[in-house]
């Protein structure tokens, strides 16, 4: 799942846009995990890891698409509200901007860190303005693995946002994360379920 050098393709952005209009849930064993307050969360078991991929669909009634996309991209703001951030910044590597993110894990588990590419495009799809953000783990020689911190090498996220026709936003999110180490898959899946059902848009 590691992304090679280069940018995301136009097709990847279009696929995220398409999920807003027609969720791609057919042809796979996507299961409805929870449906509440206008938000639906689906999961699909990844056979190789025993972990779940997630898709989230819903509406945020009081947040405009542009504001939501801007907040999502604002790493400095995330450091203010996310108590689990230990280190988070962007760095130019090989002509690309990558994100480094170290996450605090409770004792006795080791912290995890991520190195990933992230791109945002604001698209016009037949008159529909859609903000799309794609992120995926990568590897660069400038950001080597640190002693005592486990590097997350399987991380992927897609986010698509458009107006709900009123003052809010219609949102789609895809998420997969394999934190590695010796954490049992059942515990990872339980933690992911709790986090997603609590506040899925802040992942």
Looking at residue 180, its pLDDT comes to: 76
- What tens digit of pLDDT does each residue of 71-123 get? 999 999 999 988 889 999 999 998 889 999 999 988 878 899 999 999 999 99
CATH of the domain at 163: 3.30.530.20
Q: Which run of H or of E encompasses 38?
A: none
In a domain, residue 86? The reply is yes
Q: Work out how many domains the chain is built from and give that number.
A: 1
In a domain, residue 187? The reply is no
Q: Which run of H or of E encompasses 177?
A: strand 169-178
- pTM for this one? 0.86
Q: How many CB atoms lie within 10 A of CB 165?
A: 8
Task: Give the phi and the psi of residue 99 in degrees, each rounded to 5.
Answer: -105, 135
Which residues form the domain of 107?
Answer: 10-20+27-181
Beta bridge partners of 201: none
């Amino acid at each position: 799942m590691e992304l090679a050098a280069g940018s995301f393709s136009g097709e990847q952005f279009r696929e995220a846009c398409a999920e807003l209009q027609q969720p791609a849930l057919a042809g796979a064993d996507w299961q409805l995990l929870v449906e509440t307050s206008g938000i639906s969360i689906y999961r699909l078991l990844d056979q190789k890891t025993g972990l779940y991929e997630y898709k989230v669909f819903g509406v945020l009634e009081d947040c405009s698409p542009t504001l939501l996309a801007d907040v999502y991209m604002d790493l400095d703001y995330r450091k203010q509200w996310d108590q689990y951030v230990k280190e988070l910044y962007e760095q130019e590597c090989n002509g690309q901007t990558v994100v480094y993110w170290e996450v605090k894990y409770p004792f006795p588990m080791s912290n995890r860190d991520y190195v990933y590419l992230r791109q945002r495009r604001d698209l016009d799809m037949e008159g529909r303005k859609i903000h799309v953000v794609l992120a995926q783990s990568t590897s660069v020689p400038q950001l080597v693995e640190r002693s005592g911190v486990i590097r997350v090498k399987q991380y992927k996220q897609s986010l698509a946002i458009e107006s709900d026709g009123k003052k809010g936003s219609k949102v789609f999110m895809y998420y997969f994360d394999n934190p590695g180490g010796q954490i049992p898959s059942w515990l990872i899946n339980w933690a992911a379920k709790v986090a997603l059902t609590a506040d899925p848009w802040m992942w």
